[in-house]
Amino acid sequence: MFFGTVAVAEAAGGMLAHKVKAGERVLPKGHALSVADCEALSAAGVSEVTIARLASGDVPEDEAAQELARLAAGPDVRCAEAFTGRVNLFAESDGVLVLDDAEIHAFNAVDEGLTLATLPPFRRVKAGEMVGTVKIIPFALPGPVVEAGRRALVHPPLRVAAFRPKRVGLILLSTPGMKPSLLNKTARVTAERIASLGGEIAFERRLPHRQEALAEALQALDSRTFDILLVFGAAAISDRRDVIPAALEATGGRVVHLGMPVDPGNLLLLAEWAGKPALGAPGCARSPAENGFDWVLERLFADLPVTAQEIRAMGVGGLLMEIISRPQPRAGDEA
């Protein structure tokens, strides 16, 4: 592709690299100059313009962007129409954005003229939200560069794992003197959180914060009535031998991971019970503000795996906004 400044008399057929005025008319960047355009520019006193002129085998920016964006878009991701070398990608459903980081890096390493930008991985997205954009930097790319871009996109690196309806069993533990209003608020906030993901509360149980009471309630549950089990303790889980993990294990469950490198959310328990995910909720989950509990719930509702390895990988980006109501803010009493 030729790119440079030429006399207006020689510019017909080229694309303007920058907008330029021809009398009262403004010719935008990327405009393909006609003979009449060049005559108007000359009449307006413009003697030179900077243009791009495609060579044989070059792929125009819009064509390249459209093709590569289609290759990048996986399930539940829609491509918009190309404009000025850009194609935006949009979620087609509510869910979690799943990315192939290595493939995106490989694509961006092909040539400086090829770019693919996305939202962060595992970001919760809504239908219609922009999740990525393919932008071709120059007006055209050589055919071999576009072909290398195609080869880098072996599998679509962007997809949205859509939320699926889930039934959630909710168990609230309490100690003598705990205000019913706190339990009511916890139940309400949890129901709203679950509803926002497309789920529903299948049942609610309120029990004393004792291992024996929880174990007895667990043994009485019909696992066919729920898909995910949530347990809120009256106090934070501080050890695998604490009330909630101990009761889950005593009734045939398994502790997968205790704790997570996300704050707020450090004291989350990930377990399995009756073959279903079971979560011991951290105290911050009583608040509607985003916390690590949300990250785990969102993946479960999107049918994405949540293992100890996934939990440990949440540390990068896991320092979330402070919640004012936290009983012990990070800064303590410091000014």
Interval 150-204: pLDDT, tens: 999 999 999 999 999 999 999 999 999 999 999 999 999 999 999 999 999 999 9
The pLDDT, as a whole number, for residue 328 is 53
What's this model's pTM, rounded to 2 decimal places? 0.89
| Mean pLDDT for the stretch of residues 61-66 | 97
Percentage of the chain lying above the pLDDT 90 cut: 93
Contact 43, 127 (CB under 8 A): no
| Domains of the chain with CATH codes | 2-53 (3.90.105.10), 58-159 (3.90.1170.30), 167-315 (3.40.980.10)
Angstrom distances, CA of residue 324 to CA of 111, 145, 321: 46, 51, 9
What is the rounded average pLDDT of the residues 72-78? Answer: 98
Q: Share the mean pLDDT of the chain.
A: 94
Rounded to 5 degrees, φ, ψ at 306 are -130, 105
Q: What angle do CA 78, 119, 319 make, to 5 degrees?
A: 150
Task: Give the containing element (helix H, strand E) for 228.
Answer: strand 228-232
pLDDT at residue number 324: 53
Any bridge partners for residue 208, and if so which? 174
Q: Is residue 110 within 8 Å of residue 152, measured between CB atoms?
A: yes
Give the residue-averaged pLDDT of 252-271: 97
Residue that wins the pLDDT comparison between 25 and 232: 232
Per-residue pLDDT at 234 exceeds 50: yes
Average pLDDT over residues 291-310: 97
Phi, psi for 62 (deg, rounded to 5): -65, -40
Residue that the structure tokens 């999740």 belong to: 131
pLDDT tens-digit profile of 99-149?
999 999 999 999 999 999 999 999 999 999 999 999 999 999 999 999 999
| 68 C-beta neighbours (distance < 10 Å), count | 27
Instruction: Give 125-181 as a DSSP string.
Output: E-TT-EEEEEEE-SSEEEHHHHHHHHHH-SS-SEEEEE----EEEEEEEE-TT--HH
Amino acid sitting at position 280:
G
